[in-house]
Amino acid sequence: MSEDIFDVVIIGGGPAGLTAGIYTARETLKTLLLEKELTGGLPAKVDMLENYPGFQDGILGMELMDKMRAQAEKFGVNFGEFEDVSKIVDEGKTFRLITENAEYISRAVIISTGGLPRPIGLESERALLGKGVSYCAVCDGPLYKNAELVVVGGGDAAVQEGIYLTKFAKKVTIVHRRDQLRAQPILQQRAFANEKISFKWDSVATEILGNDHVEGVEIRNVKTNEKSRFAVDGVFVFIGWTPNTAFVKDLLKLDGSGHIITDENMETSVKGIFAIGDVRSKKYRQIANAVGDGAIGALAVSDYLAGIL
């Protein structure tokens, strides 16, 4: 157990957390970043980022996140990877953060834990996870050369990842519960123009078929209630995210969907605890505004520690 007192512990190593670390460490605040997996967060699992400013030809998600991490390291952020914080205890002037392996004490805390992919909720989806069911196209897409795939969802992630999967698959069917996509127009245009992509509109997946591996899906048309089955080799689910806030649900004010409520300085309902990035209650979730949240949160921590916030 370490009894060092950190100025700030950042929980979560995606773009928001890494940006906050770059700022706080550069201000010579003693900074620890705890991440339950490897740093990089969601963007590290995305192929090409086309709308992150500064890279006119796009940049690979992994490459951008490696650069952010290297910059945070340069300024002296301490990293604890595979450290999952299960509890934050408010001890008055400091906070105690508890993980499976250790406890850390900090004067301020920044939460940037993002979210987890939302599952459809089917028993067969759980049973076939890793056997044809996936939530990560970059991780698993290359396994599906010449395969027939289903993508469930109609938002930016479903359409962008569906297009990415056509690099490998011979056919991608996007199953969406409405007859209009939610995704940005530029992604929609590309998907409609892609000969490998077809759509099943007004449809939800009701069963994923197969024993040892995915062999097909059953879908239901929500307007006619008609069910149909077709053969596929893999099912990729992109129907949104659930915020990683279970560990603070009794400590902080959350909105109806479980995201952390903050003010414009990223302050939560507990003084000294800040929240940034996708985990916080807001309408638009982009890497660019996660980075913005990180900068604001870090500056606010600095002011809080100086007694001027």
Cα dist. 141→69, 147, 149 in Å?
25, 10, 10
Is there a catalytic annotation at residue 140?
Answer: yes
Q: Compare residues 46 and 109 and give the one whose CB is closer to ligand NAP.
A: 46
Site string for ligand NAP, 117-156 (x = CB under 6 A): ---x--------------------------------xxxx
Residues 174-193 binding ligand NAP (CB under 6 A) are 177-178, 182
Binds ligand NAP (CB under 6 A): choice among 88, 108, 157, 197: 157
Site string for ligand NAP, 72-101 (x = CB under 6 A): ------------------------------
Considering 90, 136, 156, 202, which one is annotated as catalytic?
A: 136
3-state secondary structure the chain: CCCCEEEEEEECCCHHHHHHHHHHHHCCCCEEEEECCCCCCHHHHCCEECCCCCCCCCEEHHHHHHHHHHHHHHCCCEEEECCCEEEEEECCCCEEEEECCCEEEEEEEEECCCEEECCCCCHHHHHCECCCEECCHHHHHHHCCCCEEEEECCCHHHHHHHHHHCCCCCEEEEECCCCCCCCCHHHHHHHHHCCCEEEECCEEEEEEECCCCCCEEEEEECCCCCEEEEECCEEEECCCEEECCHHHCCCCCECCCCCECCCCCCECCCCCEEECHHHECCCCCCHHHHHHHHHHHHHHHHHHHCCCC
CB of 118 to ligand NAP, least distance (A): 6
- Which residue, judged by CB position, is nearest to ligand NAP in the bound state? 155
Is there a contact between 237 and 120 (Cβ–Cβ < 8 Å)? yes
Binds ligand NAP (CB under 6 A): choice among 58, 76, 240, 258: 240
CB of 239 to ligand NAP, least distance (A): 4
Binds ligand NAP (CB under 6 A): choice among 19, 24, 106, 160: 160
Binds ligand NAP (CB under 6 A): choice among 62, 129, 204, 295: 204
How many residues belong to the site for ligand NAP (CB under 6 A)?
A: 20
Considering 140, 233, 278, 293, which one is annotated as catalytic?
A: 140
Residue 192 neighbours by CB under 8 Å, 6+ apart = none
Q: Compare residues 114 and 272 and give the one whose CB is closer to ligand NAP.
A: 114
CB of 46 to ligand NAP, least distance (A): 7
Is there a catalytic annotation at residue 47?
Answer: no
Residues 15-74 binding ligand NAP (CB under 6 A) are 51
Residues 263-302 binding ligand NAP (CB under 6 A) are 284-286
Is there a catalytic annotation at residue 139?
Answer: yes
Q: Compare residues 181 and 300 and give the one whose CB is closer to ligand NAP.
A: 181
State which amino acid sits at residue 126: R
Point out the residues that are catalytic: 136, 139-140
Which residues in this chain contact ligand NAP in the complex, by CB under 6 A? 51, 120, 153-158, 160, 177-178, 182, 204, 238-241, 284-286
